[in-house]
Structure 1
Amino acid sequence: MRLKKWEELPDKLKNESVKNYYDILYKKRFSLLGKRIFDLVFAILLLIILLPIFLIISIAIKVDSKGPIFFRQVRVTQYNKTFRIFKFRTMVNNAEKIGAQVTSKNDTRITKIGNFIRKLRLNEIPQLFNIILGEMSFVGTRPEVVKYVAKYTDEMRATLLLPAGVTSEASIQYKDEERLLINANDADEEYINNVLPEKMRYNLKSIETFNFISDLKTMVKTLIAVLKIY
């Protein structure tokens, strides 16, 4: 991935808070290139290895409920660009029209097979396509929907200097995020006012400490968290 020159950045990203993080990343721009090469090679390899699981899940989704295999939603990634994320569909068709854009525990929109898939984070597998396309990375800030990005502070926008990620330290710490929203009167407001700011603390810290080894550690920690063996 190429880190653009400061003057080439979108105007929304040009503020003093973002500049501090930009300067950190600029010194590591060659490491960012290595990160992209790793993402591309590893994503293609994983896609080949996981193809049987991919097919089994696809069939299970179609048998379990009406609707498409994939859930596609507009999210925001590097340089404030929008893209359509790939996920296995785990909720009833058109779930966004009958509820919040975040999911809480015991959400009635989740299908039977969807509940199982979500527990093991298997719904994230199709994001390998987004990684290959250069829209995402294995490690980075989870991509938010446009309405949440609009609530970012100047400092939070620094996370948009890098591609969105499949996992991150924030994802690990908030792997049970749905439980935090279960008693909220308004899940969207609770997420924006309380959950998002805390997750961003981890995301911004990850920019400050970015290196290839830390990315690998985050990937391993994510696997351990999913398997619940720690």
Structure 2
Amino acid sequence: MPDTQSRGLTARQAAGKRAMDIVVGGAALVLTAPLSAAAIVVARRDTGESGVFAQERVGRHGRIVRVHKVRTMRSSTTVTTSVTTSGDPRITPWGRRFRAWKIDELPQLVDVLRGRMSLVGPRPDVTGWADRLTGEDRLVLSVRPGITGPASLAFRHEEELLAAAEDPEAFNRDVIWPEKVRINREYVETWSLRGDLRYLARTVLAVFRRDQGTGSGLTRPAPP
């Protein structure tokens, strides 16, 4: 098997990335704490369950970690797919708003400070997806999963894309997933602290602009 780690972050780069997570993530946690708390209360009333949703995901080096989000979906015995489209009946009215404004991601700032996640990186996948990475693609697992990142920005309208697909699960498996892997692998190979800061800035701008359209993400994303 190729030595993929040799093209990942150096120890110095990893330390710089972690320092940014602590400083910027800590500041963001303090600033957004009131909003996060309010969203959790609303989510509890909206879903009838705990306002915080915890799920096991595949983290750095393939280790299983628990990550947290504001709950945006009701439990369902009839819909069992892990692929979520924009018209998914499980998404609550407030949940749809939280997802549009990325408010549901705010509890993950705690996961960042605990070292389970990073502010920027590949999104953490459920088991059954990250497990499929082989060969050089496993370089993606050499960094902590992120709240945002190049693939997240490229596929910011992913739910709309899946809703338009004839077979959402097949489209996710055969088209979206391979492209995300390519983007995330390139992110690790070309990582820079400046790039992470730019991805954070682009994420904030994307949220406030609430740009319309379906941005397929199927072309090479703009460089950081």
Interval of TM-score (by shorter of Structure 1 and Structure 2)? 0.7 to 0.9
Taking the aligned partners of 1:96 and 1:177, their CA distance within structure 2 comes to 24
Asked if residue 30 in structure 1 is aligned to residue 12 in structure 2, the reply is yes
For 1:119-158, list aligned pairs within 5 A. 119-158=100-139
Equivalent pair of 1:151/1:192 in contact (CA under 8 Å): no
Taking the aligned partners of 1:157 and 1:32, their CA distance within structure 2 comes to 17
Taking the aligned partners of 1:188 and 1:68, their CA distance within structure 2 comes to 28
Asked if residue 72 in structure 1 is aligned to residue 54 in structure 2, the reply is yes
**Structure 2, unaligned runs of 5 or more:** 212-224
Assess, with a 3 A threshold, how the Cα gap between structure 1 residues 183 and 229 changes in structure 2: closer, same or farther.
Answer: closer
Taking the aligned partners of 1:60 and 1:175, their CA distance within structure 2 comes to 24
Asked if residue 216 in structure 1 is aligned to residue 216 in structure 2, the reply is no
What is the percentage of aligned positions where both structures have the same residue? 30
Equivalent pair of 1:141/1:167 in contact (CA under 8 Å): yes
Assess, with a 3 A threshold, how the Cα gap between structure 1 residues 229 and 122 changes in structure 2: closer, same or farther.
Answer: closer
**Structure 1, unaligned runs of 5 or more:** 1-14
Equivalent pair of 2:47/2:72 in contact (CA under 8 Å): no
Matched with 2:66 is 84
Cα RMSD over matched residues? 1.8
Normalization by structure 1: what TM-score?
A: 0.86
Asked if residue 42 in structure 1 is aligned to residue 37 in structure 2, the reply is no
Equivalent pair of 2:150/2:183 in contact (CA under 8 Å): yes
Q: Report how far residue 41 of structure 1 moved.
A: 2.3
For 1:1-230, list aligned pairs within 5 A. 15-16=1-2, 19-20=3-4, 22-25=5-8, 28-92=10-74, 94-95=75-76, 98-184=79-165, 186-228=167-209
Deviations 1:105-144 (A, max 9, x none): 1111000110000000110000011101101000111010
Assess, with a 3 A threshold, how the Cα gap between structure 1 residues 152 and 64 changes in structure 2: closer, same or farther.
Answer: same
Amino acid at match of 1:142: R
Equivalent pair of 1:85/1:127 in contact (CA under 8 Å): yes
Taking the aligned partners of 1:173 and 1:132, their CA distance within structure 2 comes to 25
Taking the aligned partners of 2:44 and 2:190, their CA distance within structure 1 comes to 42
Q: Secondary structure at the match of 2:129?
A: helix
Q: Secondary structure at the match of 2:135?
A: coil
Matched with 1:3 is none
Taking the aligned partners of 1:72 and 1:227, their CA distance within structure 2 comes to 26
Equivalent pair of 1:91/1:114 in contact (CA under 8 Å): yes
Amino acid at match of 1:25: G
Normalization by structure 2: what TM-score?
A: 0.88
Taking the aligned partners of 2:77 and 2:16, their CA distance within structure 1 comes to 37
Q: Secondary structure at the match of 1:118?
A: helix
Taking the aligned partners of 1:29 and 1:172, their CA distance within structure 2 comes to 27
Q: Secondary structure at the match of 1:146?
A: coil
Deviations 1:5-55 (A, max 9, x none): xxxxxxxxxx21xx24x22335x3202101111212222222111111112
Amino acid at match of 1:164: P
Equivalent pair of 1:87/1:127 in contact (CA under 8 Å): yes
Assess, with a 3 A threshold, how the Cα gap between structure 1 residues 186 and 151 changes in structure 2: closer, same or farther.
Answer: farther
Q: Secondary structure at the match of 1:213?
A: helix
Deviations 1:53-72 (A, max 9, x none): 11211221122230111111
Q: Secondary structure at the match of 1:83?
A: strand
Q: Report how far residue 151 of structure 1 moved.
A: 2.3
